[in-house]
């Protein structure tokens, strides 16, 4: 039996569609339930950012989570497969007409992704004062809380509709199948069996 942590929302639905394609029907969470038990798997429905914790502590053997979240949390997890779903970019955004000024002694950056932002600006030898926020990041530069944001861009609509634009792309992200290191040893054949069933369904582009 494998336990798999899925991130609430579209990625969970798309992931369960993959299981339906492989194993047939029955991969649907009931109303508000957070556990789905099937004969072969237990699925857990968790917050996106919490998936690595469930897998790290082996509450789940496997998880599906964005590369951006893995990059931000830097945990020792086995990255098995890029599922090619949940594609997005992590970008630096500023108000329309503004660009990064590398001569500025310090830049104020609002973000949910502190580590990614910190690493990015330190590689650019730019002093960044990171302001941690939990959502609605695009608002911050509009009211003078920061000079720039580091945030997820998917369709680009949120930035566009708030008068922001992408000034630099830090990384491309998509959802990965990840495994706990011990589970990968203890349940290797089960995990690899699943891997070889999912891998051919992954769209390459
Ligand atoms: C994410 C992200 C952007 C938005 C990008 O926020 O932080 O705000 O989606 O998507 P788009 O490019 O398609 O407009 P989320 O919806 O998770 O809400 P949050 O601001 O509460 O984190």
**Can you give the pLDDT at residue 106?**
94
**Can you give the pLDDT at residue 102?**
86
40 and 27, same structural domain? Answer: yes
108 and 32, same structural domain? Answer: no
Q: State in Å: Cα 133 to ligand 1 middle.
A: 13
What residues have CB less than 8 Å from 120, skipping those under 6 apart?
Answer: 92, 150, 170
Check pocket membership of 89 for ligand 1, CB cut-off 6 A.
Answer: no
Atom 19 of ligand 1, residue of closest alpha carbon: 135
Q: What's the average model confidence in pLDDT over 84-107? A: 95
Atom 10 of ligand 1, residue of closest alpha carbon: 154
191 and 160, same structural domain? Answer: no
Asked whether residue 141 carries a pLDDT value surpassing 80, the answer given is yes
Q: Which two tokens stand for residue 112?
A: 């949910």
* 176, 79 Cβ separation under 8 angstroms: yes
Angle between helices 10-23 and 188-198 (to 10 degrees): 90
197 and 130, same structural domain? Answer: no
Domains held by the chain: number: 2
Domain span including residue 188: 2-86+174-201
Q: Where do we find the tokens 């086995």? A: 78
The bridge status of strand 128-132 relative to strand 107-111 is parallel
Phi, psi of 16 (to 5 degrees): -65, -30
**Can you give the pLDDT at residue 55?**
98
CATH number of the domain encompassing residue 163 = 3.40.190.10
Asked whether residue 64 carries a pLDDT value surpassing 90, the answer given is yes
**How much of the chain exceeds pLDDT 90, in percent?**
96
Check pocket membership of 138 for ligand 1, CB cut-off 6 A.
Answer: yes
Check pocket membership of 151 for ligand 1, CB cut-off 6 A.
Answer: yes
pLDDT per residue over 30-57, tens digit each?
999 999 999 999 999 999 999 999 999 9
119 and 145, same structural domain? Answer: yes
**How much of the chain exceeds pLDDT 70, in percent?**
100
Alpha-carbon Rg of the chain, whole angstroms?
Answer: 19
Mean predicted lDDT score pLDDT of the chain:
96
Indicate yes or no: pTM above 0.75: yes
**Sequence-distant contacts of 101-105: CB under 8 A, at least 24 apart:** 102/126, 104/147
Q: State in Å: Cα 157 to ligand 1 middle.
A: 9
167 and 178, same structural domain? Answer: no
Report the DSSP beta bridge partners of residue 171: 90
Check pocket membership of 69 for ligand 1, CB cut-off 6 A.
Answer: no
Q: What's the average model confidence in pLDDT over 110-120? A: 98
**Can you give the pLDDT at residue 103?**
87
């Amino acid at each position: 039996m494998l336990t798999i942590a899925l991130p609430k929302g579209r990625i969970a639905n798309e992931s369960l569609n993959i299981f339906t394609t492989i194993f047939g029907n029955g991969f649907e969470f009931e109303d508000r339930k957070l556990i789905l038990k099937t004969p072969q798997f237990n699925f857990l429905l968790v917050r996106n950012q919490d998936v690595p914790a469930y897998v790290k502590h082996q509450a789940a053997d496997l998880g599906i989570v964005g590369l951006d979240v893995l990059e931000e949390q830097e945990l020792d997890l086995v990255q098995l497969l890029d599922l090619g779903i949940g594609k997005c970019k992590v970008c630096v955004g500023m108000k329309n007409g503004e660009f990064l000024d590398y001569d500025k002694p310090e830049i104020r950056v609002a973000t949910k992704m502190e580590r990614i932002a910190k690493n990015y600006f330190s590689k650019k030898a730019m002093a960044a004062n990171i302001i941690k926020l939990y959502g609605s990041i695009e608002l911050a530069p509009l009211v003078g809380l920061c000079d720039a944001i580091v945030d997820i861009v998917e369709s680009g609509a949120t930035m566009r509709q708030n008068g922001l634009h992408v000034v630099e792309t830090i990384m491309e992200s998509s959802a990965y199948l990840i495994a706990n290191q011990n589970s990968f040893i203890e349940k290797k054949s089960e995990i690899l069996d699943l891997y070889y069933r999912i891998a051919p369904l992954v769209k390459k582009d």
